[in-house]
Structure formats: C-alpha cells, structure tokens
Amino acid sequence: MAADSSNMAPSDMPSSDVPSSEMVKKVRNFVVVAIAAILSIAVILGVQTTSPATSLSEMAEQSVPLETAMANGKPTLIEFYANWCTSCQAMAPDIQALEESYASKVNFVMLNVDNTKWLPEMLNYRVDGIPHFEFISAEGNEKGAAIGELPRAILAENLDALLDKSSALPHAQVSGKLTEVDTIDNPVVGGGSSDPRSHGAQVVN
C-alpha cells in the first residue's frame, strides 16, 4: 500500500521538495549588496556630474578670453561670478543653454571676482553683486547690465536686442537675488571703499 505523503513530516520529504533556507539567504544577501552598490555608484556619479563649482570652473575655462571678445567684432556677454556663489551655481544650466543657442553670434566671457586680475573690470562695470551680467555691443560699448539670479528668458531677450543693433535692451538694469559675501573668508573684499565688492552684504563671489 502506497504511503500517504500528506502525513509525512517535512524531515521525511525528499530534499528536492524542500527549499534550502541557506540558499535563499545567500540570494537575498547578494541582491541587497548589489542594490546598495548600484545606488552608491549612482550617487557618486550624480555628485560628480552636477557639482556646481566644477561646472562653473569648466564653463569659465571654455569661455571666450576677454581680450579676444573685445577684438573679434561680436557682441559680448560678460558674467562676473565665483564658484561659491549659490546664485551663480543656480544659473549655470541656463547660461550653458544660452551659450549653446548664441555662441556663434555672441561672445560668452566669465570673470571670477576672486581673481584680483579682474578688479579693474569690476570697478569699470560697477560690480557690487554677483552674478553680474554685462552686455557689450560689437563696438565695445556698454549697453546695460542684469544683476542677480534671473530667468533665462530675461537674458535671452537682452541678447536678442544686443544682436539687433537698433534695439535698446528691454532689461537694461534688472536685478534679482544675490548671494551674500563673507568678507572674512574673502580677503579681496572689505579692503576699502574702492573695492566694488565692499558695498555690503549685497556683494557675492
């Protein structure tokens, strides 16, 4: 008479019918480790590709040198910035997008206010807060400025007007959010009233 398998104890059943708890644990642990590794890599890559300071530095290295911009017969957008300026960081993607659209027609120049080399330009263009965008005609004349964190559309409208020599800039003296500067950590600032960044908490690097 055949044995009734329903009455058999688990220990009496063939080993092939009983899942290995050890194997299940190993598979589960492997999956957990794999997921953790993937997430760690994604976070590291995300930080590297979205680092605002790195992005600004790279943009500055790829920008047109000021001397070249002033001599090649094209209108120019000069941005005064600093790597630690949060408003500059926030606007970096918009500036990159504008450069992609206008690079063949407009010079994009980036000057780091932490570099004392650019102090004459800062004084000339009255830079007392950053980001500070200066719009220069093809003839080298100052047409207007936009200061602070602003929508891309405002800068684009100014660039369009800059290219249309018969039009005045629609936003010639517009201002937005500025990043405050710490004069203790930035020795170039606070050296006297002749420094355009010594005008108070409005200034940014």
Q: Which residues are catalytic?
A: 85, 88
Closest Cα partner for 135 from 196, 80, 189?
80
∠ at Cα 104 (99, 107), nearest 5°? 60
Three-state secondary structure along the chain?
CCCCHHHCCHHHCCHHHCCCHHHHHHHHHHHHHHHHHHHHHHHHHHHHHHCHHHHHHHHHHHCCCHHHHCCCCCCEEEEEECCCCHHHHHHHHHHHHHHHHHCCCCEEEEEECCCHHHHHHHHHCCCCCCCEEEEECCCCCEEEEEECECCHHHHHHHHHHHHCCCCCCCCCEEECECCCCCCCCCCCCCCCCCCHHHCCCCCCC
Residue 81 is which amino acid? Y
